[in-house]
């Protein structure tokens, strides 16, 4: 026996040595890695189980390769290897076809089923093949049997033909976890649940919602997973099964929806808000037969987004709390198992004897699945590892339970359940030795409910216990055998703790948790920005571990590393990078320079979401930070490490939002009428013209609640200061109250006999005040919805009302300007004044009807100050007690639409009629801030209690969140924020010219981005401008049908050339300016003598307007681009047409030509560019990548580099030899034209926001 033990120990050591050698081999470049990009990418993966399909697999590989069909390397030999599943999934991510060899073993293999599901999820076509005609295909589930199986003896040619074709099948996701080996079906619950979503008679799915409700550990999630694996369910929901686990604190819900969109479509969308993501998700699930599982729901608000859309989708919800469910959702209580089911769980992998004792023990466990599994782990350990008889193991378990004090407990009470779990866990942990127990305790440092990769565990346990990957896997297997893990997936290589176990570990933790977090962090070497992209766990949870380890300085250094932010956005998305910055601000409030960086990131989140590659992210992020002084060091330090080629901004881009803007919130489909904000600024409520009310999370911009009114129009809304209740007013005289905290359905009551124009609610949601067209103001008890008081001294329509925080004072104003303040308890009038509609001196306004005359009012939270505005532009502020007027002035000739005050009335915010918002200090009348980012009428505004944040609602369908505390000016030099539609540049890149929409040419010193001079002379819009390579002459063309030639040394006009009979769209000139060409909507080009200023010839050939033209340096080759979809090549000296270039499928907007005239590039409305050989007049390349019309193009002097811009809000640089896009910069405005220096290192682009000064670096 001793010799055997020695041999066994030696074998274990030998196995570890083999594993180490295998890792070393894996680290070296493998000879049989996938082919390099230069070789043909394999489209076919052939797979068989090694036990009985290896020979046939080898034959298939040879025959397919002989037939010219490239196959992925044979993975059968890796079966059983630790990284085998990773190799398989990598292959399925790249191939189009899976040829699956069906053998006797394959028919019953769980591995084949898992492989099949993953292939379906990746959109891979599955072609099962067989040779043996005696195979019993009835052993396969119906969802597999329904596909065509290829008989190799009869259908080899058909298989070849199908493999040479295209695979076009939708992705069929299957996101449910594998059912554990010790699963025991709960037949009654299973049948009860499946009846809600499966019609047995019609054999089809039912689009119902069913909830499984029960305490932790009773098998709700396992039951849901078993339903997903049911053959009938797989058959009827044949478009797939989706699964999302929320938990107590799910964070940004949009990320869950975006993940589902990526799984359904194969592409990760660029949404940053929940509303846009839900629209796309709704499109993808429409008319699909899907089963959607929403697991571990804690909050009704979290659940709501996943119940929208999908009229053919069934949903299963698991929750501990039935109060989270909508009223219409049926629920099934998941409680203790039946005694027989409990005995089955307790008896897993145990001998069949001692049934009576097993039943007694199962009953003692309260038929609770979690306790039964833990106890089963204890019994199996005693029986299999200690060689005890089952009777002895049962006696041990009972004795252990006695010693722990588990006698009976109330399964209905959480305290009793928690105590029982702790005691049962202590028994199981007693089976571990000291070091094993220490390693298990260390799992407490991981966040609850996450999958913990074995690679991360290896780093932690390697640091704390000197374990390698072999030891780590072995120990996890030990924990799983004792049922101490909820999941141990060797294929995907992760573990997961049960929630109850995680809670217990944190409760019993005696070790310094910070030290454990430090051990994990220390196990990683190198900068955090260099984390492998595949280590998604650390990219997601790094800052959690840094905070818990107390490494504040390291966290701050990491978040200030631009390379880290770029990689974080690439791996996890913009929201996660923004979240890291928020965490950094939270742990170090003194680092104020982080706030503008985070805000810039937040403002650019919708732009960054479009980026796919690291260079795109780096380019775009740099362009959004370059104007910030606080980001200068960050950009300078990261510059050597940022990816190349890159296209960056040299100064502030002109499309920057207002620097005080925190976030733009979009989701309404029509103009937003009204908004309100909770006292702390955490929640916003808004209503739009289409009767939609939305409650928002201010920090993330995500929707928390959405209601729609179809029977009446919503005219106003308000939210209680504590964020717990919302009230809104309808034009049919009803008020509606929504309790957000209890998530109760809205309650409506008849409040007035006419339309309610305004409403307000106090801080704790107990008092509501309403104003109506019936000339009355009413005060309501919000809880009973009974009228406390009616204030009816107004003689006209009451257009506005407000209430103090404590509900003691109310203000109201009617459309004759009569403003009143009331004591709500007594009904006594405390203050009254008359506000003029317009002040003397303001321009007289003409109104179409009386309804255009509107007054609004606001009262401070303490009731001491009242303010009012009129749509005539008048604004006034008064002190209630003394009646003293603080302010009275004409705020804006276009009118004032709304106003609000902060807590003590020291700040007044107004929404003005010219799309502006302004904030004043009421004590001095001094203007504190002006906000200018809306492009339509601003209807409403709301200040937080402390006056630091302002919310605005606009007809542009958006809400905007503004910072009122730190008023930030725009960068000092933003003279280039002049709308422009064309541009040009000298060959040395030192001078740029932009043609503005105001009929002016602006000349810029490119290196320092300063304006040199403005040139005027055209009487209509300037369509194009071109400058000589040496910068001595400039030509411009205009809708006024003229061309002007400018002397750039004196900035005077040399010639004004006329002759075209329609708008002149384009112009060009040769290197010395002696030859000028113009292109017109009159379908002609004209060649002019640049020295004499006279016409040489007219070129006719195009059948539609000519949009652009370009000349070679020597002036001997001319190219023109037309609305007829063609380009023409001319000799401008002779007027001879040398050829026509066709290939574009829509208008050709722009063209450019290399200095020597050999290479032409064209930009088209068909979203492509084309590169042409001018001499042979043949197309060389088509450049695809833009998603909208390509509006401008430029080419380097040597013809090797192409620059393009598009209405898709991007600028791209291309390699003209290969057609490869070298890099991309995304902006926030459609780009209209571009130009570049001779070497393409300096680039200028224009939009209606202004001029962009860019630098390209290879």
Average pLDDT over residues 38-55: 78
If asked whether residues 895 and 945 sit together in one domain, one would say yes
If asked whether residues 308 and 343 sit together in one domain, one would say no
Instruction: Using the 3D structure, point to which of 406, 431, 456 is the last residue of a domain.
Output: 431
Please tell me the distance from the alpha carbon of residue 132 to that of residue 215, in angstroms, as a whole number: 50
Per DSSP, the three-state class of 17 is helix
Q: What pLDDT score was predicted for residue 974? A: 61
- Does a structural domain hold residue 669? yes
For tokens 């300016």, the residue is 1073
Average pLDDT over residues 1-26: 41
Q: Tokens at residue 992, please?
A: 């740029």
* β-bridge mates for residue 1193, sequence order: 1204
Contact criterion met (CB below 8 Å) for 813 and 865: no
Nearest alpha-carbon partner for 227 in 266, 178, 255, 190: 190
At 538-590, the pLDDT tens digits run 999 999 999 999 999 999 999 999 999 999 999 988 878 988 998 999 888 87
pLDDT higher than threshold 90 for residue 650: yes
Strands 125-130 and 150-151 come out as parallel
Tell me the CATH number at 1091.
Answer: 2.130.10.10
Mean pLDDT, all residues of the chain:
87
If asked whether residues 1110 and 1058 sit together in one domain, one would say yes
If asked whether residues 1020 and 1147 sit together in one domain, one would say yes
Count of all residues that appear for the chain in the document: 1258
Sign of the C-alpha dihedral computed for residues 840, 845, 849 and 853 taken in this order = negative
- Does a structural domain hold residue 490? no
Peptide bond into 645 cis (omega under 30): yes
Instruction: Using the 3D structure, point to which of 310, 333, 356 is the last residue of a domain.
Output: 333
Q: Tokens at residue 631, please?
A: 């980001």
At 1225-1251, the pLDDT tens digits run 999 999 999 999 999 999 999 999 999
Please tell me the distance from the alpha carbon of residue 1223 to that of residue 1210, in angstroms, as a whole number: 10
If asked whether residues 883 and 988 sit together in one domain, one would say no
If asked whether residues 940 and 994 sit together in one domain, one would say no
Instruction: Using the 3D structure, point to which of 317, 333, 349 is the last residue of a domain.
Output: 333
Sign of the C-alpha dihedral computed for residues 1229, 1233, 1235 and 1241 taken in this order = positive
- Which strands form 1127-1131's sheet, in the order they lie side by side? 1106-1111, 1118-1122, 1127-1131, 1136-1141
pLDDT higher than threshold 70 for residue 82: no
pLDDT higher than threshold 60 for residue 38: no
At 121-138, the pLDDT tens digits run 788 999 999 988 888 888
Contact criterion met (CB below 8 Å) for 150 and 193: no
At 1186-1205, the pLDDT tens digits run 999 999 999 999 999 999 99
Give the pLDDT band (50/70/90) at residue 17: very low
One-letter-per-residue 3-state SS of 840-899: CCCCCCCCCCHHHCCEEEEECCCCCEEEEEECCCEEEEEECCCCCEEEEEECCCCCEEEE
Q: Which residue has the higher pLDDT, 974 or 1187?
A: 1187
At 1127-1165, the pLDDT tens digits run 999 999 999 999 999 999 999 999 999 999 999 999 999
Q: What pLDDT score was predicted for residue 1250? A: 94
Nearest alpha-carbon partner for 1067 in 1051, 1093, 1040, 1086: 1086
Q: What pLDDT score was predicted for residue 418? A: 61
Q: Is 483 left (phi over 0), alpha (psi -120 to 50) or beta?
A: left
If asked whether residues 321 and 388 sit together in one domain, one would say no
Give the pLDDT band (50/70/90) at residue 25: very low
- Does a structural domain hold residue 196? yes
Q: Which residues contact 886 (CB under 8 A, 6 or more apart)?
A: 865, 877, 878, 879, 922, 923, 925
pLDDT higher than threshold 90 for residue 1115: yes
* β-bridge mates for residue 748, sequence order: 736
CB atoms within 10 A of CB 555: 22
Measured CA to CA in angstroms, residue 1095 lies from 1048, 1058, 1086, 1108 at distances of 22, 9, 7, 18
Strands 314-319 and 209-213 come out as parallel
Q: Tokens at residue 56, please?
A: 């046939």
Q: What pLDDT score was predicted for residue 254? A: 81
Give the pLDDT band (50/70/90) at residue 1038: very high
At 862-898, the pLDDT tens digits run 999 999 999 888 999 999 999 999 999 888 888 899 9
Tell me the CATH number at 281.
Answer: 3.40.50.300
Q: What pLDDT score was predicted for residue 276? A: 67
Q: Which of 43-52, 632-641, 1116-1125 has the highest mean pLDDT?
A: 1116-1125
Residue 442 gets which letter from DSSP?
G
At 787-840, the pLDDT tens digits run 999 987 788 999 999 999 999 999 999 999 999 999 999 999 999 999 987 654
Instruction: State percent of the chain over pLDDT 70.
Output: 91
Domain containing 389 equals 339-431
Give the pLDDT band (50/70/90) at residue 407: very low
pTM summary value: 0.70
Q: What pLDDT score was predicted for residue 415? A: 57
Q: Which of 162-171, 281-290, 1169-1178 has the highest mean pLDDT?
A: 1169-1178
pLDDT higher than threshold 50 for residue 972: no
- Does a structural domain hold residue 1048? yes
pLDDT higher than threshold 90 for residue 484: no
- Does a structural domain hold residue 1078? yes
Q: Which residue has the higher pLDDT, 943 or 76?
A: 943
Q: What pLDDT score was predicted for residue 121? A: 78
pLDDT higher than threshold 80 for residue 844: no
If asked whether residues 595 and 611 sit together in one domain, one would say yes
Q: Which residue has the higher pLDDT, 975 or 601?
A: 601
Q: How many domains does the chain have?
A: 6
pLDDT higher than threshold 60 for residue 410: no
Contact criterion met (CB below 8 Å) for 97 and 120: no
Q: Is residue 2 exposed (0-12), middle (13-18) or buried (19+ Cβ within 10 Å)?
A: exposed
If asked whether residues 744 and 836 sit together in one domain, one would say yes
If asked whether residues 1225 and 1195 sit together in one domain, one would say yes
- Does a structural domain hold residue 499? no
For tokens 């340096």, the residue is 1113
Please tell me the distance from the alpha carbon of residue 443 to that of residue 425, in angstroms, as a whole number: 14
Measured CA to CA in angstroms, residue 674 lies from 719, 729, 760, 909 at distances of 11, 11, 12, 14
If asked whether residues 1098 and 1124 sit together in one domain, one would say yes
Give the pLDDT band (50/70/90) at residue 490: confident
Number of H helices, E strands in the chain: 31, 70
- Does a structural domain hold residue 518? no
Contact criterion met (CB below 8 Å) for 705 and 741: no
Give the pLDDT band (50/70/90) at residue 305: confident
Please tell me the distance from the alpha carbon of residue 316 to that of residue 222, in angstroms, as a whole number: 12
DSSP string of 887-933, one letter each residue = EEEE--TT-EEEEEE-TTS-EEEEEETTS-EEEEETTT--EEEEE--
Tell me the CATH number at 56.
Answer: 3.40.50.10140
- Does a structural domain hold residue 859? yes
Q: Which residue has the higher pLDDT, 202 or 1126?
A: 1126
Per DSSP, the three-state class of 469 is helix
Per DSSP, the three-state class of 525 is coil
At 906-917, the pLDDT tens digits run 999 999 988 899
Least confident of 66-80, 591-605, 944-958: 66-80
Helical H segments across 198-309, by residue range: 220-229, 231-236, 253-265, 274-285, 300-303
Q: What pLDDT score was predicted for residue 238? A: 84
If asked whether residues 666 and 581 sit together in one domain, one would say no
């Amino acid at each position: 026996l001793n010799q055997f033990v020695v041999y066994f120990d030696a074998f274990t050591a030998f196995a570890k040595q083999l594993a180490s050698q295998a890792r070393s081999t894996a680290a070296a470049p493998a000879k049989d890695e996938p082919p390099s990009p230069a070789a043909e990418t394999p489209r076919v993966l052939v797979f068989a189980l090694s036990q009985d399909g290896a020979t046939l697999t080898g034959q298939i590989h040879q025959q397919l390769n002989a037939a010219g069909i490239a196959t992925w390397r044979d993975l059968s030999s890796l079966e059983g290897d630790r990284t085998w599943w990773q190799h398989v999934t990598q292959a399925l991510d790249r191939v189009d076809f899976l040829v699956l060899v069906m053998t006797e073993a394959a028919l019953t293999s769980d591995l084949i089923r898992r492989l099949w599901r993953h292939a379906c999820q990746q959109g891979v076509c599955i072609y099962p093949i067989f040779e043996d005609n005696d195979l019993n295909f009835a052993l396969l589930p119906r969802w597999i049997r329904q596909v065509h199986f290829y008989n190799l003896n009869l259908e080899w040619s058909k298989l070849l033909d199908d493999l040479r074709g295209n695979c076009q099948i939708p992705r069929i996701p299957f996101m449910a976890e594998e059912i554990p080996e010790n699963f025991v079906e709960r037949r009654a619950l299973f049948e009860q649940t499946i009846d809600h979503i499966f019609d047995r008679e019609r054999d089809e799915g039912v689009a119902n919602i069913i909830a499984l409700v029960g305490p932790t550990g009773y098998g709700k999630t396992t039951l849901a997973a078993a339903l997903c694996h049911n053959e009938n369910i797989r058959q009827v929901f044949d478009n797939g099964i989706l699964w999302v686990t929320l938990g107590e604190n799910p964070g940004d819900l949009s990320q869950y929806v975006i993940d589902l969109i990526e799984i359904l479509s194969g592409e990760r969308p660029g949404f940053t808000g929940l509303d846009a993501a839900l629209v796309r998700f709704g499109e993808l699930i429409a008319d699909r037969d899907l089963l959607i599982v929403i697991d571990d729901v804690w909050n009704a608000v979290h659940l709501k987004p996943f119940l929208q859309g999908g009229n053919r989708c069934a949903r299963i919800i698991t929750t501990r709390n039935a109060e989270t469910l909508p009223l219409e959702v049926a629920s099934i209580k998941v409680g203790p198992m039946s005694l027989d089911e409990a005995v089955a769980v307790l008896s897993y992998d145990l001998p069949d004897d001692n049934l009576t004792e097993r039943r007694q023990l199962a009953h003692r466990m309260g038929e609770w699945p979690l306790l039964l599994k833990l106890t089963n782990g204890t019994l199996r350990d005693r029986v299999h590892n200690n060689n005890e008889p089952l009777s002895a193991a049962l006696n041990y378990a009972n004795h252990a339970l006695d010693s722990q004090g588990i006698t009976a407990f109330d399964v209905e009470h959480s305290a009793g359940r928690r105590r029982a779990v702790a005691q049962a866990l202590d028994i199981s942990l007693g089976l571990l030795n000291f070091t094993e127990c220490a390693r298990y305790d260390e799992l407490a440092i991981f966040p609850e409910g996450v999958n913990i990769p074995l690679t991360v565990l290896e780093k932690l346990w390697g640091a704390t216990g000197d374990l390698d990957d072999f030891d780590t896997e072995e120990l996890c297997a030990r924990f799983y055998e004792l049922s101490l893990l909820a999941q141990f997936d060797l294929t995907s290589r992760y573990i997961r703790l049960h929630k109850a176990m995680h809670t217990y570990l944190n409760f019993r933790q005696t070790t310094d948790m910070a030290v454990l977090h430090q051990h994990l962090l220390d196990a990683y070497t190198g900068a955090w920005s260099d984390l492998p992209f595949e280590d998604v766990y650390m990219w997601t949870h790094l800052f959690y571990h840094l905070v818990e380890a107390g490494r504040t300085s390291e966290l701050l250094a990491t978040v200030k590393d631009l390379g880290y932010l770029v990689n974080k956005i690439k791996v996890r998305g913009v929201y996660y990078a923004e979240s890291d910055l928020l965490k950094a601000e939270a742990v170090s409030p003194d680092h104020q320079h982080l706030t503008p960086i985070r805000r810039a990131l937040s403002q650019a989140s919708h732009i960054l979401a479009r980026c796919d590659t690291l260079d795109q992210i780096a380019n775009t992020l740099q362009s959004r930070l370059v104007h910030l002084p606080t980001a200068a060091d960050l950009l300078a330090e990261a510059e050597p490490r940022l990816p190349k080629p890159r296209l960056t901004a040299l100064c502030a881009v002109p499309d920057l939002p207002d620097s005080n803007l925190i976030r733009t919130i979009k989701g309404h489909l029509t103009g937003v009428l009204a908004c309100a904000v909770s006292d702390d600024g955490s929640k916003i409520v808004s209503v739009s013209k289409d009767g939609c009310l939305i409650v928002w999370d201010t920090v993330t911009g995500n929707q928390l609640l959405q209601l729609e009114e179809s029977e009446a129009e919503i005219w106003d809304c308000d939210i209680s200061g504590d964020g717990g209740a919302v009230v809104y007013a309808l034009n049919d005289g009803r008020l509606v109250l929504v309790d957000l905290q209890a998530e109760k359905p809205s309650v409506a009551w008849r409040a007035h006999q006419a339309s309610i124009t305004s409403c307000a609610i106090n801080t704790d949601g107990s008092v509501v005040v309403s104003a109506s067209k019936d000339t009355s103001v009413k005060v309501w008890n919000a809880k009973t919805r009974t009228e406390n008081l009616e204030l009816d001294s107004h003689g006209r329509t009451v257009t506005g009302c407000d209430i103090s925080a404590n509900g003691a004072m109310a203000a109201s104003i009617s459309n004759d300007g009569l403003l009143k303040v009331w004591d709500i308890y007594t009904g006594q009038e405390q203050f009254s004044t008359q506000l003029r509609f317009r002040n003397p001196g303001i321009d007289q306004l003409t109104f179409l009807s009386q309804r255009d005359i509107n007054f609004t009012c606001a009262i401070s939270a303490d009731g001491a100050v009242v303010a009012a505005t009129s749509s005539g532009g008048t604004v006034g502020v008064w002190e209630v007690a003394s009646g003293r007027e603080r302010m009275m002035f004409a705020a804006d000739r276009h009118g004032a639409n709304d106003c609000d005050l902060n807590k003590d009335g020291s700040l007044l915010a107004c929404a003005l009629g010219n799309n502006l918002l302004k904030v004043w200090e009421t004590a001095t009348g001094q203007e504190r801030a002006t906000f200018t980012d809306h492009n339509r009428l601003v209807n409403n505004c709301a200040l937080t209690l402390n006056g630091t944040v302002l919310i605005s609602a606009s007809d542009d369908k958006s809400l905007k969140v503004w910072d009122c505390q730190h008023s930030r000016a725009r960068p000092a030099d933003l003279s280039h924020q002049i709308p422009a539609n064309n541009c040009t540049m000298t060959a040395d890149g030192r001078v740029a010219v932009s043609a503005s929409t105001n009929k002016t040419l602006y000349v810029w010193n490119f290196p320092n981005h300063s304006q040199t001079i403005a040139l005027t002379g055209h009487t209509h819009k300037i369509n194009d401008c071109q400058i000589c390579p040496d910068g001595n002459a400039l030509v411009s063309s205009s809708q006024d049908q003229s061309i002007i030639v400018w002397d750039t040394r004196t900035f005077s006009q040399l010639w004004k050339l006329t002759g075209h009979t329609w708008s002149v769209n384009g112009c060009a000139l040769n290197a010395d300016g002696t030859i000028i060409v113009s292109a017109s909507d009159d379908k002609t080009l004209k060649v002019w003598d640049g020295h004499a200023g006279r016409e040489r010839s007219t070129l006719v050939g195009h059948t539609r307007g000519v949009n652009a033209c370009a000349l070679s340096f020597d002036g001997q080759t001319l190219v023109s681009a037309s609305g007829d979809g063609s380009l023409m090549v001319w000799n401008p000296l002779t007027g001879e047409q040398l050829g026509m270039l066709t290939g574009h499928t829509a208008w050709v907007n722009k063209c450019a030509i290399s200095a020597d005239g050999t290479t032409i590039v064209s930009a088209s409305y068909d979203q492509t560019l084309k590169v042409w050989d001018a001499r042979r007049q043949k197309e060389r390349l088509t450049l695809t990548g833009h998603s909208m019309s390509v509006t401008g193009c430029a080419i380097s002097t040597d013809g090797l580099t192409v620059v393009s811009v598009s209405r898709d809000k991007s600028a791209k640089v291309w390699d003209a030899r290969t057609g490869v896009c070298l890099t991309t910069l995304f902006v926030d405005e459609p780009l209209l034209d571009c130009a570049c220096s001779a070497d393409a290192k300096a680039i200028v682009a224009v939009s209606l926001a202004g001029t962009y000064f860019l630098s390209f670096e290879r």
